Structure 1
Amino acid sequence: MAQTIEEQFPPKMAKPAQRALAGAGITSYQELSKHSEEKVSKLHGMGPKAMNQLKEALEKQGLNFSE
């Protein structure tokens, strides 16, 4: 069974940021790593705190934003 966006991304990440990722079709860390940090940060609802949470989570997965 596929994980929901809430299960996949950091649990304390704000709902607007979760919706921004879902709206952009980003549903996994693998998919997130295909996007640049700049592009993701410009999504409506994505704030600095959520970006820091995503960077930390990507690093834990051994991944990074694309260049």
Structure 2
Amino acid sequence: MGSSKPTKTTCENGHVYYKSSECPICPICEKQRKPDEGFLSEIAAPARRALEDNKINTLEELATFSEKEILSFHGMGKSGIIKLKTLLNKKGLHFKD
């Protein structure tokens, strides 16, 4: 399983970048849309997109889900869950049982 050679790609916004995967996400657009504040600014882009895709924008909304439900979201992994638990705990919140 070798990595493929990076290919030059241009996104719909005109950003030119090189990617070795088939992931359609433009890293320049992603960096520009990263929030400056709030808990979504503290997590990795795939985890942030997973929450945004499921309309979770606050820690209070996140606390209405179980850890298993969040892990089932595309883009969410174990390291994302660990970070989210830390952020929830700081606010006195936790995942639904």
TM-score band w.r.t. shorter chain:
0.7 to 0.9
The gaps in structure 1 that reach 5 residues or longer are none
Higher mean C-alpha displacement, 4-13 vs 38-47: 4-13
Identify the residue that residue 31 of structure 1 maps to in structure 2.
Answer: 61
RMSD: 1.8
Structural mapping, 1:1-67, within 5 Å:
6=35, 7-9=37-39, 11-67=41-97
Asked which structure has the greater RCO (Cα within 8 Å, sep 6+), the reply is: 1
What code does the residue aligned with 1:13 have? I
Counting matched residue pairs gives 64
Q: By how many angstroms is 1:11 displaced?
A: 3.8
The gaps in structure 2 that reach 5 residues or longer are 1-32
Relative to total residues, which structure has the larger strand share, 1 or 2?
2
Relative to total residues, which structure has the larger helix share, 1 or 2?
1
Which deviations, in whole Å up to 9, do the C-alpha atoms of 1:13-47 show, x marking residues without a partner? 21010000000000000000000110001100001
Identity across matched positions, percent: 38
Question: Radius of gyration: which is bigger?
Answer: 2
Return structure 1 stretches of 4+ with deviation > 4 angstroms: none
